[in-house]
Amino acid sequence: ASFLMDGCMGVFNLALPQFGGQLGLSPAEIGLAKGAATLPYALICVFAGALGDRLGWRPVAAVGCFCISVSHFFVPMANGLASLMIVCLAVSAAQGLFWPPFEGMTGVGKSGADLSKQLVPLNVSWSLGYMSGLFACGYLISTFIRLPFYVAAGAGFVAGLVVLIVRVPEQQVPSE
């Protein structure tokens, strides 16, 4: 799921300036839209971890994935700065819903060296996902400027299904 979610971000971060330019927006306006979107991510991350603790990490992370899917689907419908800012805010908020619960789910019952061993594959996965999203986006943009957002919407949906369906055996926390 981390591979797919950061693949979505790689697509979004490369396709957004291209798409914004096609809308006739200046680089400053595109930067404003994307830059303003970091605030909801930061704010929602603060609450998403606690929400995951309360409602369960898996359902909250899955909702984040499905929200990524929906928000990416609507990006190509933006027709100016205001609508582009709204979808950027939605994408960012959805990422904020996903990452804290997903990271909590990944590290549950782990500490020290065990946690490090668990986090290495996670970090490699999201890094490779981001890189793959950038690579794929270059090709997808050359095919159809809106296509990367639809592919990211599909990837977000699949990530949500993975979070809900795939069960990784949990290790017992050693008693002291």
Taking only the tens place, the pLDDT of each residue in 69-127 is 999 999 999 999 999 999 999 999 999 999 888 888 777 666 667 777 777 888 899 89
Cα separation of 85 and 45, whole Å?
19
Six-digit token string for 157: 């949906």
The pTM score is: 0.85
What is the tens place of the pLDDT at every residue in 117-154? 777 888 899 899 999 999 999 999 999 999 999 999 99
